[in-house]
Amino acid sequence: MASHTGDDSGADRPAPAAGPARVRDAPRLRDALRTTPALIVLSGAVLVAALAATATVAVQSRASATTLGERSAATAVGTSTTAREIYRGLADADVAASAVFLLPPAEDRRASLVTAYDASVHEVERTLTDSMGNAVGDPDRLTRLATIAARLKVYRDVVCAALRVAGPLPAAGTGNRRPCPSAGSAEQTGAGSPAARAVLASAYAREASHYMSTELLTAAQALWNYDTRLLLDARADARPWLAASVLAPLATLAALVVVQVWLRRRTRRRLNAGLLLASLGTTAVLAMLASSWWHWPDADRGFPELERAIDAQSATQQRLGALLAGRADVYLGLGASVDPAGHKAAFDSRDLCRPPAAGPAPPGDRIDCTALEETVWPARQSKAPDAFRGAVDTVLGGGSAGRAFVAAETHLLTELTTRNEEVSRMVAGLPEARRHLGGAAAWVTLLAAAAVVAGLRRRYREYQ
Amino acid sequence: MTTPRRTPARRARRRAASLALLAALTGCAAPATPTPAPPARPPGVATAPTTDATGGVCPVRRSLPPDPTPPRRILDRGELVAGVDPSDATMSHWDASTQRFEGFNIELMLAVARALWPSDDPRRRLTFKAVPPGQGAFTMLDRGEIDVVATSLTASCERARRVLFSNDYLDSGQTVLVRRHPDGTPEFAGMEQLGGRRVCAAANTTSLAMIAGYRTAGGLRPVPVHAPHPVDCLVLLRQGQVDGVSTDDNILLGFTQMAPDTTLVTEAPRPERRSCVHHRDENCTWFTDEPHAFAFHLTDGRDLVAFVNHVLAQPRTAKVWQEAHDRWLAGHRDRGMPSPGPATTAWPPPDPAPATPRPAD
């Protein structure tokens, strides 16, 4: 077979008649690279680079392959459960704080409402402490939790200022616990009529509730979104690694075959043992990586359904948040707030009332707003004796509106529990991540690279 | 459910978390760097632009002629609906103990209801609705949701184009509330010290317009901040987010009762800024003239304005006025119940505030 690769180096070609040396050297270099020894070196370099890339993929894809499956889902579901607890605890605290300012300081029930608020805030703080303990390896999550904690302190300070303005509570009424520290030296309280102080206390309560909805609940929701995002990101991140885990060994194998065929034709000899060994090794690497990702198609098929279940869970949680915020609106609007119309508008915008013709099985996540419309919202305009006190009794725990809120909250909590179980069941149904063989595959790839070098070196020496 | 045993690793984690939470709660640096918590603010608080309009309020001290005929539509309906600002300790606020609205404006509205239905309990005939301060209530008046605006409303020429005003029933002036030092002195002596400082007033009020156009003798301007309600400004002042709250003296007087850690400024404005014609003595810190009047619908409210003016002119109402002033505005240094200006049938009045003799000191 006639040489067409320029083994004879092209020395008989006429040199260019004129021009700079660089222009003259370029064809020479091109011809030198077309020689068989040079092509052997070049193909060896390409094969070693391909094998190195395969080894890198084998090692680097490990995290994506293992976090994708059940482990990632379980982590995300576990952490988002905590985020849900924080969100609900904050909304509960807001309801309890808003209820405190419904009643004059002299009312016995006020102390129990302050105790309920205090308990809600401490429950959130306890959950935050536990979550921070579990998030030491996740700086992003820790930052989000610390952000919520810092904002909770601001919220608590505003509520405490309101409590101090409204008037002192008997220590026995709050179980001898002090829900707030004493006033600073600059802050003086306790003067003026109780009614005038109630107006200022209510202004603080309105500010606190606004802060809760604009800063704290949004931060808690962002934490939940972050947790569930981890799961969805794991899926998205894994796809390129899966493709690389299949394509890199396949491409390397193809390159080995091409070089083997070329070398065999070029030298009219038998198969190169080094290249053959490397091909077998690369095939083994392909099998190892395929085994490591074998669970992925099943997991991928299950993810869209899981994603839908998580979205439904989020929607239920936001519905619960809206219900609790609506209850706070009612308390603030009925209390001494300067903006009752604003609170009613906020309540109406949350779409919490059952439609008038709801039928025999009305939606359980909505409340019958008849009592609110007839007696609560117009209570301060009513001319009936004790209309305001009656409205307060209606919205607090034992009243009809209070019971309606509790029933809707119970319904949503039950629904949330069902959704949680659904998500947990789906997570349990995901295929378990298989043992990843990326490390072993990388070693095999290195051995294959050594075989390539040894096999090609022998041919190269023969040419020299 | 059983409680998990506390392993050393778990205890260490808890300790680390407690320290992190403690650091976050005490404002120290947390292990991660969380976004600094923004300060709490009432909804709708913002900085307002300053203006070059420094003319102050153009007061209106005239109204339609009094008429003793009760408005038929009010009598037929059987109730009078008054819009009140529930954040005002002196003028109108909700008292949860008595379950009713109280204050200086409330007493005057009760006098009007008493004149409309002499044989009835006036509270049975009056409905009070909470409305926004300043001209924010005019929309409710336009929609027919209320018959009269009985907030601490300044009768100004600009507003007279939108509503009818009764005769002036209280003279006051704009001044400033600031934080009080432990020794009782104000943190800032007067408006002249508040150049470059944040001063809050309610949105849509003449007070905010005045602050936005104020310039101290040194050429400095206060930074105007507006909130939906004056009491929101008081919250911001106590939280250190503003350095002063500026509105009418009669409102600020109520704020000093709500928050004893605040006080009114003591230094008089510079002479060209003083507006003390209607002030009782020399210790005057007012820098605007603020006649207070009830507001009514521009076209449908003429008969009610005339009737209210008739009620205000009655000696019995003067007695009610004095008793209400003693109870709610004891520290307010006005010169007593204002005398009505000459009646006008043209509206807005062409000569809104003719010189009128004031009651003797």
**Is the Cβ pair B40, A103 closer than 8 Å?**
no
Contacts of B39 in chain A (CB under 8 A): 154
Res B8: pLDDT: 47
A199 at interface of B, judged by CB pairs closer than 8 A: yes
Mean pLDDT, chain A, integer: 82
pLDDT for B64-120, tens place per residue?
A: 999 999 999 999 999 999 999 888 889 999 888 888 999 999 999 999 999 999 999
| Residue A187 Cα, gap to closest chain B Cα (Å) | 6
Nearest-by-Cβ selection for A196 from B34, B128, B257: B257
Taking residues A217-241, report their average pLDDT. Answer: 80
Contacts of B34 in chain A (CB under 8 A): 143-144, 146-147, 149-150
Measured between CA atoms, the residue of chain A closest to residue B101 is A380
B52 versus A459: the higher-pLDDT residue is A459
A340 versus A434: the higher-pLDDT residue is A340
**Is the Cβ pair B228, A150 closer than 8 Å?**
no
Quick one: how far is CA B101 from the chain centroid?
Answer: 16
> Would you say residue B5 has pLDDT above 60?
no
Confidence class of residue A301 from pLDDT cuts 50, 70 and 90? confident
Strand order of the sheet with strand B174-179? B46-47, B223-227, B198-202, B244-248, B174-179, B262-264
> Would you say residue B20 has pLDDT above 70?
no
**Is the Cβ pair A150, B31 closer than 8 Å?**
no
Contacts of A340 in chain B (CB under 8 A): 86, 130
| Residue B164 Cα, gap to closest chain A Cα (Å) | 24
Say which DSSP state A16 is in.
P
State whether the Cα torsion B173-B174-B180-B181 is positive or negative.
negative
**Is the Cβ pair A185, B182 closer than 8 Å?**
yes
Angle of helix A70-100 relative to helix A36-68, nearest 10 degrees? 40
Say which DSSP state A363 is in.
-
Q: What is the ipTM score, two decimals?
A: 0.85
Taking residues A334-349, report their average pLDDT. Answer: 87
pLDDT for B189-213, tens place per residue?
A: 999 999 999 999 998 888 998 999 8
B254 at interface of A, judged by CB pairs closer than 8 A: yes
> Would you say residue B44 has pLDDT above 70?
yes
**Is the Cβ pair B32, A104 closer than 8 Å?**
no
A380 versus B338: the higher-pLDDT residue is B338
Confidence class of residue A228 from pLDDT cuts 50, 70 and 90? confident
Candidates A103, A131, A216, A338: best to mutate against B (most CBs of B within 10 A) is A338
Residues 255 through 274 of chain B touching chain A, CB cutoff 8 Å:
257-261
pLDDT for A70-122, tens place per residue?
A: 556 666 666 667 888 888 889 888 888 888 888 777 777 888 888 889 998 99
Lowest mean pLDDT among A59-63, A118-122, A206-210: A59-63
Res A6: pLDDT: 37
| Residue A301 Cα, gap to closest chain B Cα (Å) | 34
Taking residues B327-356, report their average pLDDT. Answer: 88
Are A41 and A222 spatial neighbours (Cβ–Cβ below 8 Å)? no
From the list A205, A160, A167, the residue with the least C-alpha distance to A184 is: A160
Are B262 and B241 spatial neighbours (Cβ–Cβ below 8 Å)? no
